[in-house]
Each structure stands twice: as C-alpha cells, then as structure tokens.
Amino acid sequence: MYSEKVMDHFQHPRNVGQLPDADGIGEIGNPVCGDIMKLYIKVWDDRIQDVKFQTFGCGAAIASSSMMTELVMGKPLEEAERITRKNVADALDGLPPNKMHCSNLAADALHKAIEDYRIRNALPAVAP
Amino acid sequence: MKKIYLDHNATTPVDPRVLTAMHPYFSEVFGNPSSIHAFGREAKEALERARGRIAHLLRAGEREICFTGSGTEADNMAIKGVAHSYRNKGDHLITSQIEHHAVLASCAYLEKEGFRVTYLPVDGTGRVDPDDVRKAITDHTILITIMHANNEVGTIQAIPEIGRIAREHGVLFHTDAVQTAGKLPVDVDALNVDLLSLSGHKIYAPKGVGALYIRKGTKITPLIHGGHHEHGRRAGTENLASLVGLGKAAEIAGAERAEEYKRLTKLRDALHKKITDRIERVFLNGHPTQRIANTLNLSFAAVEGESIILSLDMEGIAVASGSACTSGSLESSHVLNAMGIIPELTQSSVRFSLGRTNTPEDMETVAEALPPIIERLRAMSPLT
Ligand SMILES: Cc1ncc(COP(=O)(O)O)c(C=O)c1O
Ligand code: FES
C-alpha cells in the first residue's frame, strides 16, 4: 500500500517535536478525516533555520509531515512557501490516491506557520 | 518471527478439518446437485448434509435454511426480500445505527424505493433499548432488523426480548448473526427470530458462502432469479465444495463452541488487563460484559489507529481500527460515532479480535509490542 520511502519516514520520522521559541506555528485539522498536524518554524534571515512537527494521523500523514520538514529545512521562506502537496507526495515516491489529502495536511500546516510568522512580525504577505 | 492474527472478525482461516471435508467435492464428487444421475445425486446428498448441519446449529428445520453467496447477500435477501413481499402490508422498517453496511445499505436502497426506515440509536456501550424498538413500531412496520452482536465492538443485543416485542406486534424480525453463529448459542426459537444471516468465512469455512434462515411461512421475494435452486428462493448452481465446508464448520463450531468461548474470554480479558496495566489512558469501546468473547476494541488516547496498525503490522501482528484513515471511504466508524465516542477516540480505536489461532503466548507478545509503539506515537502527537 505504501512506498518504502513512506514506511521509512513513518518509522523514522525526521524533525519530530516542538520548538519552544518558534517564530511561527501552523496548526491544521484535516477536514477529510479529522486528523491534526502542528508545525513549528524558526526563521532567521528569511530562511527556515529549524522546523519541527507533531502529527496525529495516519502513516501517510506522519510520513508527509516528516518529508515536508526535510524539504523546507534551511530553505528561504519564499521557496518553502511554493512547496505543494504534490512535491511532498512525489518526494515520498507517491501516495495511494485516497491518501493524497494527507499530504495536504503537511503543505497547509507549513503555509500556516509561515503566515503566522509574518503576522507576528507584521510583514506583508509575499505576492505569489 | 511468528505472525499473530488478531482480526478474526474480518475473516478466519479455513479450519484444516473443513478443508479436508471439502477436498472430494472439487474433482471427485463434482456433479451438479440438480442433476438426477448418480453424480448429481451424490452431490445433492452432500449439499443436504451441509444444510442439515446448519439447521442443527440454529435448531431450525432444514427447509428453513437457504444458502447464499455471502453474509452480505443473506442480509440483502432478508431485508429486500421481506420488504418486497410485504409491501402491501406496510412500508416501514426498523433497524439500528450500528448495523453492518450490508444491512444499512440495503435499508438505504429501500428508502430510495419509497420505504421508510427508522435507525434506532444505541447507548454508550452499543446497546439498543428494546423499549425504543417497541415505540418505533407503527401499523405500517413490516420488518425489524437488529444485529445479534456488533462486528466492531462485540456488543450483544437483547435479541430474545426484541424478538418478543416484534412478535407481540406481528412484525417480522431479522437478525444478522454473522458474528455470533458458532460463537454464542444461536437457537432461532430462543432468539424469537424469523430470519437470521450467517457467513462462512467468519466461522473457519471459505469466503463467498453464507446462509439465511427463513422461518416457515415467511415470504421472501428472491434477489436472484433463474433455476429452481434452494426451493426457488435463490437461483444458481450451488457452491458445493464451499457449502460442504460451511456444513463442516457449523458442526465443529457446535461441538467446540462452549469450550472455545471460555478459552477466548480468558485470553481476551488477559490481553485487556496486560494492556491497561502497561499503558495509560486506554479506553474500552463496547459493553463491559454483554460482549462476544473474542472482541476487544480499545482507544489509545492521542494516537491515530492506522499508525498503530502499521506499527503492529511491522511486528507481524494483525489488528483493525475504526479510524477514518483506515476506511476506504475516509469516514470514521459509524458504530463508535453512534455510541457517542468523541472523534479523537474514534480515530484512536483498535480492534483486537481473537480466534482459534491464538494462544496465551500471543497475548503476551502483543502486550509487549504495544507500549513502545504507543509511547513513540504519543511523543509525535500534538494531542495530549
Ligand atoms: C456483522 C456482519 N454482517 C455481515 C457481514 C458480511 O459478511 P460477508 O463478508 O460474508 O459478506 C460481516 C462481515 O464483514 C459482518 O461482520
Ligand atoms: S491523516 Fe487521516 S487518512 Fe491520512
């Protein structure tokens, strides 16, 4: 059902936990199945200097969260912001069709965390 | 690594004794039971022996047993068959919110045809209040269908009492006994039922066979039209070998049921205790005592069910969950929802369903595998 990459990230998720001094936090509930993800980012010089996640969800949700943190770690905010659920799913060598929404959870939490960072710092949203 | 199967409510392995009984009915005794020559007669005898064994298990008459292609078909046949036969008498059916989809979808289908259906609620343990059944009956009610025990949480309904109420009001009563036939005593007269469904693959017979008990005098419009098989109630050449298997499985279950029930109760309660001794915030879903012996449905707070299934699977342990993430439709368990379990705990549910393959050692293995899994997943969870 799941790719080896998904199972690897599920079993050994990267960047799990909280950042007590986070600059931005994105929490998102999955409207489809009711699962929850929380993402913490530390920003320095417009780059994601550190990122951690907590997820209450299926294997695909945990693996997507983990993969997403790997994709954005060290990236400029503008670049991180362009990451889509498809990027996350592709990086995991694909997800079963009924699990695509789980990668949404990761992408949405990321965008929310960046938005939270901008609001906290009264920064304008960057035009897409 | 020894694999441990704790998903017997989903399906069971074919018992080796059942397989042995089936063996001659593929290539040696292969006649069509409807043929009048010796080949056919021999097949027919085997078929009728199997029917006799099912009838004996249910304390029913042989003519009252109709073979079907699954438990689902038996449920469909009972519900649609009665509705279509008794349409001139009324257009109302009563069921519960926690039935198997085979029943719920049949009822929903009838609603589209203009029938009205009352879906009774259940309490926090999954029990239907027989008084609610009584109150729901109207002059137009033609069928009550309430399952004997629920496949997800194992809660047993007050079938004899509901049956008495149905009879007092002259309403037909069907029960889905797919999870109880061969586990609990299933005596159609003691249960006061007019129709009862069972399925082969839940009782160590093959998949794709089942049976519907139809009390003498109950009219049923067939689902499947064709030849005169099953007294014209279900057309199609019978699945001989598998039905022989079903008969054998019924015979074994009848002989071993009581002992096995005791053994499974002990194993299940040991597993429950071992888990709650080692893990905090574990909640039982289902009735504490009015529950089939093999079923243990637990919610592990703050951890999603599919992630528990995957983790146990990697240790060779097979279980199921009511979490939305594990259902093809991404809807969480309608059973746990109807019981009023909060969504987070529904997402956290895991069903352990035991059977003949399990030993006391299995319980210990599972209880040892679980704590690190739950700890790891809880450490990852935003919920507390
Ligand atoms: C309570 C109940 N009813 C009906 C069925 C359907 O039986 P079958 O799989 O033979 O169609 C099942 C099995 O999933 C069940 O548990
Ligand atoms: S998070 Fe629920 S299905 Fe993936």
Condensed to tens digits (0 to 9), the pLDDT of residues B335-365 reads 999 999 999 999 999 999 999 999 999 999 9
Let me know how long chain B is: 384
pLDDT tens, per residue, chain B with 384 residues: 789 999 999 999 999 999 999 999 999 999 999 999 999 999 999 999 999 999 999 999 999 999 999 999 999 999 999 999 999 999 999 999 999 999 999 999 999 999 999 999 999 999 999 999 999 999 999 999 999 999 999 999 999 999 999 999 999 999 999 999 999 999 999 999 999 999 999 999 999 999 999 999 999 999 999 999 999 999 999 999 999 999 999 999 999 999 999 999 999 999 999 999 999 999 999 999 999 999 999 999 999 999 999 999 999 999 999 888 887 777 889 999 999 999 999 999 999 999 999 999 999 999 999 999 999 999 999 997
Of A2, A10, A34, the CB nearest to B332: A34
Judged against a pLDDT cut of 70, whether residue A127 lies above it is answered with: no
Q: In chain B, which residues have their Cβ closer than 8 Å to the Cβ of A11?
A: 314
**What is the model's pTM?**
0.95
- Are A55 and B314 within 8 A, CB to CB? no
Every domain of chain B and the residues it spans = 4-12+257-380
One-letter identity of residue B273: K
Is the minimum CB–CB distance between B258 and chain A shorter than 8 Å? no
Phi-psi category of residue A45: left, alpha or beta, with phi > 0 → left and psi -120 to 50 → alpha: left
- pLDDT, averaged across chain B: 97
pLDDT at B326: 83
Tracing tokens 């998720």 back to the chain, one arrives at A13
**Residue B227 CB contacts under 8 Å (≥ 6 apart), including other chains:** B34, B235, B236, B237
**Is the Cβ pair A55, B381 closer than 8 Å?**
yes
**How many CA atoms within 13 Å lie on the side-chain side of B292?**
33
- Cα of A99 vs centre of ligand 2, distance in Å, is 6
Percent of chain B clearing pLDDT 70 (strictly above)? 100
Q: What is the three-class DSSP state of A48?
A: strand
Tell me which of 3.40.50.2300, 3.90.1150.10, 3.40.50.1980, 3.40.718.10 is the CATH number of domain B4-12+257-380.
Answer: 3.90.1150.10
Under an 8 A CB cutoff, do B382 and A10 touch? no
Say what the ipTM of the complex is.
0.91
Cα–Cα distance for residue pair B107/B276, rounded to 1 Å: 39
Q: Is B310 on the interface with A (CB under 8 A)?
A: yes
Which of B213, B200, B210 lies closest to B172, judged by CA?
B213
Please indicate if any CB of chain A lies within 8 Å of the CB of B16. no
DSSP B210-254: EEEEE-TT-----SS-SSSGGGGTS-S---HHHHHHHHHHHHHHH
> So what's the pLDDT on residue B327?
79
Q: Are strands B116-120 and B317-318 parallel, antiparallel or unpaired?
A: unpaired
Q: Which atom of ligand 1 is nearest to the CA of B70?
A: 10
Q: Which residue of A lies nearest to B305 if distances are taken between CA atoms?
A: A58
- Give the residue from chain B lying closest to A65, CA to CA: B380
Minimal CA–CA distance to B110: which of B248, B221, B216? Answer: B221
Mean pLDDT of all residues in chain A? 92
The secondary structure of B25-76 as a DSSP string is HHHTS---TT--SHHHHHHHHHHHHHHHHHHHHHT--GGGEEEES-HHHHHH
How far apart are the CA of B294 and the nearest CA of chain A, in angstroms?
26
pLDDT of residue A128: 54
Beta-carbon contacts below 8 Å between A and B: 65
> Does the CB of B303 have a partner CB in chain A at under 8 Å?
yes
Inter-chain residue contact B324 with A38, CB threshold 8 Å = no
Q: Which residue has the tokens 């649609």?
A: B80
Helix (H) or strand (E) holding A26: strand A24-29
**CA–CA min distance B315, chain A (Å):** 12
- Residue A58 catalytic? no
List the structure tokens of B89: 């008498």
pLDDT at residue B359, as a whole number: 98
A59 with B310: Cβ contact below 8 A: yes
Q: What integer is the mean pLDDT of A25-44?
A: 89
